[in-house]
Amino acid sequence: MSESSYDAIVVGAGPAGISAAIVMARAGLKVALLERGEYPGAKNVQGAVLYSRMLHEILPDFWTMPGAALERPVVEQKTCVTTEDSWITFGYKSLKFLQGIPNCYTIIRVKFDQWYAAQAEAAGAELFCGVTVREVIRKDGRIAGIKTSDGDELESSVVLACDGANSLLAQKAGLIDELKPVEVALGAKEVIALDSKVIEDRFQLNPGEGSAMDIFGSVTLGMLGYAFLYTNKDSLSLGVGCRLSDYQAKGLRPSDHLELVKRHPYVAKLISGGKTLEYSSHLIPEGGFKSMPPLFSDGFLVAGDAAQMTNPPYREGANMAMTAGRLAGETVIEAKKKGDFSAAALSVYQLKLKASYVLSDMEDIKDLEEAVASVPGFLEAYPKLACDLAHLRFSADGVPKRQHLRQAFRLVADRGFWRIAKDLWPLRKVAI
């Protein structure tokens, strides 16, 4: 590692850290990007759908860049609601998703992060891998650098904590405590090799196009969360993420849970013939708006998962991390111009985030998880009700339709009209 001090030290070469490093290095700042993995992406897990606009704001038209580590542009988004033996799927497919700035791509993080970090190096940032940061250095009441697990010290005007879920840096800076099991989900994922032609036939895609599906209901065994199935070039990403406290209460390991998801008849058919290439699991911070740490202090900024910036019902996280990293980088550039890295100067970061979709979206869904979790069996009862109603609608069993209608009415009345309205009301926040 270089001996000289830096304008900015970025801890963590994930979407947040790399974005911040690109923006600052491009403006001529001396930036160190520190990553504990052997290489960027070595330890990172994501579904992974990556929304394009936020990356386009950092690397314009990135999808045309040589070597861009993208799998498939997603033309179809689907939701599947399951019981053990039935399922309802609904989705939206549009070629408009391919026009202009494509809406999103599937990616494989181990490839993507290496490519993205290379863009930070090309912009002038110094990337150091295999470096685990253990401590922050304080000087004159402000954070002025970091200490690695090898005891190396590095100084800077500002440190950016982009070290992901359960951020050690934000804890060392005294901004946050370790996450509680109700504030975090555990995601487990497999990449399953499948011939690209088989994928396109099975998912009804034109060559090169992709689809992304989230699966709710019985597959999560009553736990708060959902499963997902995304198409890559010649593999599928199948995963499931549920609240850690729910796994603890059930005594279930995510890897065992994923095996159960694979056996659901809808999923089993889609992945059949595939060969598992890798398994990974990772925390997803889901405490949301109410569990966010302070986002800045003297000489210190927090971005991405380190600051709990995710929007689970929309499967957004990496895009929010990129936006936050960019805004943190822009804040540091302004601070450098003023020669002021105090908390007051860095507080602009919070204003920038407030003006963006990041904080407003998080604020809008701040009560959603609690609302869903407070209704026992929510994620089992409503998928079952929906499937039972669909069963009546699509059955020609010799029973007069008016009797089906009465049965349907009874199914709904048994749960209670008022109760259904009250239970489902919080979902209005994620209806659009």
Ligand X SMILES: Cc1cc2nc3c(=O)[nH]c(=O)nc-3n(C[C@H](O)[C@H](O)[C@H](O)COP(=O)(O)OP(=O)(O)OC[C@H]3O[C@@H](n4cnc5c(N)ncnc54)[C@H](O)[C@@H]3O)c2cc1C
User: What is the side-by-side order of every strand in the sheet holding 184-193?
Assistant: 87-93, 74-82, 210-217, 225-231, 235-243, 184-193, 275-285
Q: Which of residues 123-142 bind ligand X (CB under 6 A)?
A: 132-133
Structure tokens of 220?
Answer: 């999560």
Q: Applying CB under 6 A, does 227 fall inside the site for ligand X?
A: no
Helices (runs of H) and strands (runs of E) counted in the chain = 16, 17
Q: Applying CB under 6 A, does 215 fall inside the site for ligand X?
A: no
Candidates 17, 102, 287, 426; binder of ligand X (CB under 6 A) is 17
Candidates 24, 29, 33, 37; binder of ligand X (CB under 6 A) is 37
- CA–CA dist 319, 305 (Å, integer): 11
Place of tokens 């003297």: 298
For residue 405, which phi and psi values (nearest 5 degrees)? -65, -40
Q: Which of 256, 262, 255 is nearest to 279 (CA)?
A: 255
* Count of CA atoms in the C-beta half-sphere (13 A) of 239: 28
- CA–CA dist 409, 301 (Å, integer): 54
Candidates 5, 39, 43, 388; binder of ligand X (CB under 6 A) is 43
Structure tokens of 79?
Answer: 């939701």
Q: Applying CB under 6 A, does 35 fall inside the site for ligand X?
A: yes
Q: Which of residues 229-258 bind ligand X (CB under 6 A)?
A: 239, 241
For residue 197, which phi and psi values (nearest 5 degrees)? -65, -40
Q: Which of residues 94-113 bind ligand X (CB under 6 A)?
A: none
- CA–CA dist 196, 83 (Å, integer): 29
Yes or no: say if 25 and 334 are a contact pair by the CB < 8 Å rule: no
Q: Which of residues 280-319 bind ligand X (CB under 6 A)?
A: 282, 284, 304-306, 310, 315-319
Q: How far is the CB of 412 from ligand X (least distance, A)?
A: 34
DSSP state of 71: -
Burial class of 134 by CB neighbour count within 10 A (0 to 12, 13 to 18, 19+) = middle
Q: Applying CB under 6 A, does 145 fall inside the site for ligand X?
A: no
Q: Which stretch binds ligand X (CB under 6 A): 40-48, 151-159, 243-251, 266-274?
A: 40-48
Q: Applying CB under 6 A, does 162 fall inside the site for ligand X?
A: yes
Candidates 22, 23, 26, 36; binder of ligand X (CB under 6 A) is 36
Size of the site for ligand X (CB under 6 A): 40
Nearer to ligand X, 217 or 285 (CB): 285
Q: Which of residues 334-393 bind ligand X (CB under 6 A)?
A: none
Candidates 102, 145, 187, 225; binder of ligand X (CB under 6 A) is 187
Nearer to ligand X, 164 or 426 (CB): 164
Q: How many CB atoms lie within 10 A of CB 421?
A: 9
Q: Applying CB under 6 A, does 69 fall inside the site for ligand X?
A: no
Q: Which stretch binds ligand X (CB under 6 A): 30-38, 349-357, 400-408, 409-417?
A: 30-38
State the amino acid at position 311 in one-letter form: N
Q: Which stretch binds ligand X (CB under 6 A): 29-37, 122-130, 346-354, 376-384?
A: 29-37
Q: Which residues bind ligand X (CB under 6 A)?
A: 11-17, 34-37, 43-49, 132-133, 162-164, 168, 187, 189, 239, 241, 282, 284, 304-306, 310, 315-319, 321
